[in-house]
């Protein structure tokens, strides 16, 4: 009788473990099925940087910013990007002296960040750029511009909404 109890307990543990692993794998597959992935491309044909969604789901609440000397600046609220859509970042032109970052959410509200600097592109889960929306709520001052209102970036031009960052790529 003792052996049958041990076999039953082992079978129950294996079943519970298998169930847990399958649940986790299914969740990961669901995330991959809806996850947007935004990449920056310096597109000579467009005459400027572009932001392309190469992921599987829409990128919502998109914010694009520049980074230089440890500070993020010039946040611009861009339009949502459906799967395989491209947005010309005309206000950036072919700027090459700053890093770029984009923060965005998927359809479930999960936050992601993509950065490019020094020819290295990275994507992350979570926030890596400053929270300009929270700063706007605290101060009552608009810090982000809409993409159709953003002035063309010029080296040495005045920056808006500059915020220090301890972000380190890698």
What range does the domain containing 30 cover?
1-34
In a domain, 51, yes or no: yes
Per-residue pLDDT, 55? 95
Q: Are residues 25 and 68 in the same domain?
A: no
Q: Are residues 26 and 40 in the same domain?
A: no
Q: Are residues 27 and 43 in the same domain?
A: no
Per-residue pLDDT, 12? 82
Residue 157, token pair as written in the block? 């031009």
Report in angstroms the alpha-carbon separations of 87 from 1, 29, 41: 69, 27, 10
Report in angstroms the alpha-carbon separations of 47 from 56, 77, 81: 26, 20, 20
In a domain, 58, yes or no: yes
Q: Are residues 113 and 125 in the same domain?
A: yes
Per-residue pLDDT, 99? 92
Q: Give, for all 170 residues of the chain, the pLDDT tens digit.
A: 688 888 888 878 888 788 777 777 666 666 566 799 999 999 888 889 999 999 999 999 999 999 988 899 999 999 999 999 999 999 998 888 889 999 999 999 999 999 998 889 999 999 999 999 999 999 999 999 999 888 887 776 667 777 776 666 54
Q: Are residues 4 and 58 in the same domain?
A: no
| pTM beyond 0.75 | yes
Q: Are residues 49 and 85 in the same domain?
A: yes
In a domain, 42, yes or no: yes
Indicate the number of domains in the chain: 2
Q: Are residues 14 and 50 in the same domain?
A: no
Looking at residue 130, the DSSP 8-state letter turns out to be -
Per-residue pLDDT, 169? 57
In a domain, 142, yes or no: yes
In a domain, 170, yes or no: no
Per-residue pLDDT, 52? 97
Burial class, 77, CB count within 10 angstroms (exposed 0-12 / middle 13-18 / buried 19+): middle
Q: Are residues 116 and 145 in the same domain?
A: yes
In a domain, 108, yes or no: yes
In a domain, 102, yes or no: yes
Q: Are residues 79 and 16 in the same domain?
A: no
Per-residue pLDDT, 6? 80
145 DSSP β-pair partners? 76
In a domain, 101, yes or no: yes
Q: Are residues 103 and 26 in the same domain?
A: no
Q: Are residues 91 and 19 in the same domain?
A: no
Per-residue pLDDT, 10? 80
Q: Are residues 21 and 47 in the same domain?
A: no
Q: What are phi and psi of 26, to 5 degrees?
A: -65, -40
**What is the three-class DSSP state of 148?**
coil
């Amino acid at each position: 009788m003792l052996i049958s109890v041990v076999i039953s307990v082992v079978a129950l543990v294996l079943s519970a473990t298998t169930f847990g692993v399958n649940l986790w794998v299914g969740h990961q597959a669901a995330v991959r099925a809806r996850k947007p992935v935004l990449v920056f491309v310096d597109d000579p044909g467009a005459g400027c940087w572009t932001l392309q969604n190469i992921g599987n789901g829409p990128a919502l609440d998109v914010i694009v910013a520049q980074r230089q000397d440890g500070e993020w600046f010039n946040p611009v609220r861009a339009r949502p990007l459906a799967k395989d859509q491209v947005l010309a970042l005309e206000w950036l032109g072919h700027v090459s002296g700053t890093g770029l970052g984009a923060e965005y959410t998927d359809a479930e509200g999960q936050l992601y960040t993509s950065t490019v600097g020094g020819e290295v592109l990275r994507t992350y889960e979570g926030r890596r750029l400053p929270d300009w929306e929270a700063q706007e709520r605290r101060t009552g001052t608009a810090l982000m511009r809409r993409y159709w209102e953003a002035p063309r970036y010029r080296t040495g031009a005045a920056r808006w909404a500059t915020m220090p960052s301890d972000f380190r790529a890698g």
